[in-house]
Amino acid sequence: MSFHKHITAVERKQKTLVVYAADPDTDLAEQFETKNVTVQYKRLRSVGGDEFLVVRDDGEFRGTVGLQALTEFLTPPISVPWSDVGESSSFRDLLSVLDRTLFTSFEKRQMLATSREIEDRAWRVGDGELHVGFQSPSAFRAQVSVYDRLADETNLDIHIYGHGEWRSFEMQDVTFHGNKTDEIGEAWFLVYNGGGDPSQKCALLAEERDPDQFYGFWTYNPETVDELLRICTKPTGRTTKQSRIGCLRVA
């Protein structure tokens, strides 16, 4: 299955957020209109400041989180993987219950925040494979310091994908894949294999349909992560490997 087909498969499923609150928030429903999510309200006057939401997938219960998580999702925190900010974030709680939800208007801030959550998992485990598609070297340039530290201070096997010339990046223990298939060059993705722990497997996949507007989903489902990993690692294109001793290997 291709990246595009994975996104199409997710599109056929819609989740429902049931918000239990004293008064409905119509702005919240409007903000989720383009996210393949239906927002319903249940008036619960006695809830006070402990408003919460229940997530259902095809009618089945998926989880519950505090209403603050929705607010944080719309303007999520963005921190480096080794920060303690994300560890207690309600944004992370909502990501887990919205697994494989299609977002047809995925703004760049939300993309980056979700990417950071995956990078944070990889950082804390410190082992395994992390495959990342930045589309082009220019898109990756702003993230060099993050990936330089991930490579230097963990045992992660990091692979970066995208169309263009990657030789200008002086990074140790990072493999750059250029001239990959059109699909990989056009997608933004992060796929982490969990470092031997299936519960840590996670991935983000999105297509840029309009400038800075992405269409895609994230997942913590091990089988889906494995399928996306097979697409990433399909042997095509040119590979450049930089090791800790500064050697350059091209295959």
Q: What CATH code is assigned to 3-250?
A: 3.30.870.10
Euclidean distance between CA atoms 24 and 19, whole angstroms: 8
pLDDT band (50, 70, 90) for residue 57: confident
Q: Give the percent of the chain with pLDDT over 70.
A: 69
User: Which tokens is 220 given?
Assistant: 């913590």
pLDDT surpasses 80 at 3: yes
pLDDT surpasses 70 at 38: yes
Euclidean distance between CA atoms 94 and 72, whole angstroms: 9
Euclidean distance between CA atoms 97 and 93, whole angstroms: 7
- The domain segmentation of the chain, as residue ranges, is 3-250
Which pairing describes strands 202-210 and 187-192: parallel, antiparallel, or unpaired? Answer: antiparallel
pLDDT value for 9: 80
Helix axes 3-11, 222-232, angle to 10 degrees: 150
Which among 59-63, 84-88, 235-239 has the top mean pLDDT? 59-63
Which amino acid is present at 137?
Answer: P
H or E segment to which residue 212 belongs:
none
Residue 147 or 169, more confident:
147
Assess contact for 36 and 11: CB atoms under 8 A: yes
Which amino acid is present at 111?
Answer: M
By residue count, the chain amounts to 251
**SS3 category, 27:** helix
User: Which tokens is 201 given?
Assistant: 């497997």
- Beta strands of the chain (E only): which ranges? 15-21, 37-43, 52-57, 60-66, 103-107, 129-133, 157-161, 174-178, 187-192, 202-210, 213-219, 238-242, 248-250
pLDDT surpasses 80 at 239: no
User: Which tokens is 114 given?
Assistant: 């979700």
Measured in whole angstroms, the distance separating CA 150 from the mean position of its chain's CA atoms is 17
Q: What is the mean pLDDT of residues 39-66?
A: 76
Name the DSSP class of 50.
Answer: -
Euclidean distance between CA atoms 45 and 22, whole angstroms: 4
Q: What are phi and psi of 203, to 5 degrees?
A: -160, 155
Q: What is the reported pTM?
A: 0.76
Which among 17-21, 45-49, 133-137, 232-236 has the top mean pLDDT? 133-137
